[in-house]
Amino acid sequence: MNIKALNGFKDVLPGEVEQWQRVETAARDIFARFNFSEIRLPILEKTDLFARAIGETTDIVEKEMYTFVDKQVTMRPEATASLLRAYIEHGLHVQKPVQRLFTIGPMFRHERPQKGRLRQFHQMDVEVLGSADPRVDAELMAMGALLLHELGLSVTLEMNSLGCPACRPAFRTALLTFLEERHESLCDDCKRRSSTNPLRVLDCKNPRCREQVLEAPSLLDFLCAGCADHLRLVQEGLEQLGVVYSLNKFMVRGLDYYTRTTFEFITADLGAQAAVGAGGRYDGLVEQLGGPKVSGIGFALGMERLVLLLQQQETEAASASPALFVAGIGEQASGYAFGLTHALRRAGMAVAMDLEGRSLKSQMKQAGKLKAANVLIIGDDELAASLAQIRNMNTQQQQNVELQETAATVQALLQLTSSSPLTSTSI
């Protein structure tokens, strides 16, 4: 029986996994610099949590969730709802008036798999709970932009304001009127959506719908004084921090909970999968889920898309090559190499060795494949004379290494492999 991974579920193999690690390491570093703490959340939650948080008439809840119907539980399609559930459940607002949290892990959505769109995908998600300050919005966008910049990726930032429950209804009415006039030209999804969730039509990817909504009213013209002020201050903050962005009046995002600021990091290099990250403010959501009346804002970056961009934009992957390959030739030498390798690893060096008793030629080949920086060659005769040879694989220079007692040999080798190219002074 030949069992393969499910459609839309993907293994990350060595060779690619280094890029994932690079993305995650860069993110953890930035999150720490911005004073965020990690939170780890379960993958399975009550279905009701997502239906209530994300919205019954969103694509995610209507058609993308992995739900076990008999148990009324769902594999999380995004992180915000789960994170808020945990925030409320553990009274995290009592511990700290402003919580800055991040979480990294897999999400599940039953959509049509394609490049940059999987059924199990991974997000790095950041949330700030307890602050309505527009500077937090600017700070978060600046943090996302900085991370993408440090990864060497060129991505643009688009922003919009979705207003609040005070000003959105008037916009909704104006939009409904606008859409009614164009009802026949919309795609089937949008025909249905235009009455249940008209804002979503603005976000439809169908080219015909896109054309239809070009002249649609803009929420920006309907903002109440509070929302307009908030937007102005966010823009001032972005300017102060030197963050480049553009306003996009069509961006509504696929989740119902957003208020005021919404934003997306966009790339031109992944076809239809243009958003590498997205988020926004959700000032009423914590309360709606039964928690305290606190503001919130967050965003999530899609790791698959970041890795694809890293591959496409050909930035250097961090190499996992060993600093040293220990080649023991002969039974005695191989036994000695086994112990020395462990001592070197304990001392912090990345070391590879062959355990199959292969020939010197074959071991040198192996070292080359692994891109080992140096090879230590020990034969039985050399071992008897307490000598070995070390070869710098870059310069092909070779020199003797005296095999002393283990600790001293480890020290000598640490020193030799850290100075590259090898000098000709022997030890």
Write out the residues near ligand ATP by the rule CB under 6 A.
78, 109, 111, 116-118, 121, 123, 254, 273, 275-278, 300, 302, 304-305
- What is the nearest approach in angstroms of ligand ATP to the Cβ of residue 308? 9
> Which DSSP helix (H) or strand (E) runs through 280?
strand 275-281
How far is 86 from 71, CA to CA, in rounded Å? Answer: 20
Pick 59 or 382: Cβ nearer ligand ATP: 59
Nearest to 231 by CA among 268, 260, 198: 260
Contacts 24+ apart (CB under 8 A), 368-374: 368/393, 370/321, 370/322, 370/325, 371/319, 371/321, 372/321, 372/322, 372/323, 372/324, 372/325, 373/321, 373/322, 373/323, 373/324, 373/417, 373/420, 374/323, 374/324, 374/325, 374/416, 374/417, 374/422
Q: State which residue, 124 or 410, has the beta carbon closest to ligand ATP.
A: 124
* Whole-angstrom distance, CA of residue 297 vs CA of residue 132: 8
Shortest distance (Å) from residue 58 CB to ligand ATP: 9
- Given the structure tokens 């959506």, which residue do they identify? 193
Q: Closer to ligand ATP at the Cβ: 45 or 78?
A: 78
CB-based contact 243:263 (threshold 8 Å): no
Sheet holding 156-161, edge to edge: 37-38, 99-108, 120-129, 296-302, 275-281, 259-266, 156-161, 246-247
Of 118 and 157, which has the nearer Cβ to ligand ATP? 118
Closest distance of CB 369 from ligand ATP, Å: 32
Chain position whose Cβ is nearest to ligand ATP: 302
Identify the CA nearest to 298 among candidates 418, 130, 148, 182: 130
Work out how close the CB of 302 gets to ligand ATP at its nearest, in angstroms, rounded to a whole number: 2
In the complex, minimum distance from the CB of residue 42 to ligand ATP, in angstroms, rounded to a whole number: 19
For ligand ATP, the closer CB: 163 or 277:
277
For the CB of residue 299, give the shortest distance to ligand ATP in the complex, in Å. 7
d(CA 280, CA 124): 15
Those residues whose C-beta lies under 8 Å from the C-beta of residue 149, and which sit 6 or more positions away, are: none
Q: Which is nearer to ligand ATP, 302 or 379 (CB)?
A: 302
- Shortest distance, position 116 Cβ to ligand ATP, whole Å: 6
Distance between CA atoms of 374 and 417, rounded to whole angstroms? 7
Residue whose CB is less far from ligand ATP, 110 or 345: 110
Minimum separation from the CB atom of position 119 to ligand ATP (A): 7
DSSP letter for 117, please: B
Q: Could you tell me which of 376, 404, 372 has the C-alpha nearest to residue 391?
A: 376
Nearer Cβ to ligand ATP, position 55 or 237?
55
